[in-house]
Amino acid sequence: MFVQNSNLVNTKAMLLDAQKHGYAIPAFNIHNLETVQVITEAAAELNSPVILAATPGTFSYAGRDYIQAIVEAAAVRYSIPIALHLDHHENKSDIEESLNLGVKSVMIDGSHHPFQENIKITKDIVTLAHEFDATVEGELGRLGGQEDDLVVNKEDSFYTDPDAAVIFAKETGIDSLAVAIGTAHGMYASEPKLDFERLAIIQKKVDIPLVLHGASGISLEDVRRSISLGCTKVNIATELKIPFSGALRKYLVDHPEESDPRKYMAQAKKDMKQVVYEKIKMCMSDGKA
């Protein structure tokens, strides 16, 4: 089914505005109805544009049609720009299925392939997505850590080469570029050392908006500095899971007799919402919708 009247937006206008005015759009990973409710409620209350990112694992868990419908409902309810973003996708058929459902924002992750193969894969998805008025984020360089079932050891991660980024952006036609400057997926065992000098060079060489993955656990100061150096989209996942699961676990331990999810999820949603508020303000996107 091809949905032509989607209320969702692509990320082009929001990222370009963020690039122009020196802030970033928070991209929060979602998993179910509750996470969509929490994130969009908080974004609407702070009048912030927002990106709801879903990995292949999330779609396998919940169903592409279910996730699409839930996010569409949020986009109707709130008068802020909301994008549903395919995070770390690799399978063309999965991407095409979501494009037909009305998704307007895609990340194709070819970062684990050789450079020329990454260009070929990414360019193919750009051609497809642009037919649907969807924007495409590519990735050059590789983050360590775990995203869904994909685990990248520290020794297999590598930073984005600025000169290669110029070639990659030009030959693929991507709308935004995810860069590797020392962040990782998941939380950090010690304070990460970000390569801001590298990021500054990339910003000077590449015109399109840049994306910071692995922002959970990064200090406000480092995120803000990354934004000042061209990062217009900041990905947050693990820092939302921790307060939700922690509050849910505590409630169920304290109330072993409770069986109503409307009650035992209430505090978990509140705790997650506080983190969403903090991250929106960290990105300085409040009031920008």
DSSP of 142-179: B-EEEETTEEE-GGG-BPPPHHHHHHHHHHH--SEEEE
Judge whether 237 is annotated as a binding position. Answer: yes
Judge whether 88 is annotated as a binding position. Answer: yes
Best CA proximity match to 133, nearest among 8, 279, 268, 218:
8
Residue 63 contacts residue 94 (beta carbons within 8 Å): no
> Could you tell me the two tokens for 58?
């999330």
Judge whether 216 is annotated as a binding position. Answer: yes
Return the amino acid letter for 239. E
Alpha-carbon distance 112 to 133, whole Å?
A: 27
Judge whether 286 is annotated as a binding position. Answer: no
Alpha-carbon distance 51 to 10, whole Å?
A: 9
Judge whether 236 is annotated as a binding position. Answer: yes
Alpha-carbon distance 22 to 145, whole Å?
A: 28
Judge whether 149 is annotated as a binding position. Answer: no
| Helices vs. strands in the chain: H and E counts, helices first | 12, 11
Catalytic residue list contains 87: yes
Judge whether 185 is annotated as a binding position. Answer: yes
3-state secondary structure of 190: coil
The one catalytic residue in 65, 87, 133, 148 is 87
Judge whether 109 is annotated as a binding position. Answer: yes
Judge whether 133 is annotated as a binding position. Answer: no
Residue 125 contacts residue 136 (beta carbons within 8 Å): yes
Judge whether 121 is annotated as a binding position. Answer: no
Active site residues: 87
Query: Residues forming the annotated binding site?
Result: 88, 109, 139, 185-186, 213-216, 235-238
Query: Residues forming the annotated binding site for Zn(2+)?
Result: 88, 109, 139, 185, 213
Query: Residues forming the annotated binding site for dihydroxyacetone phosphate?
Result: 186, 214-216, 235-238
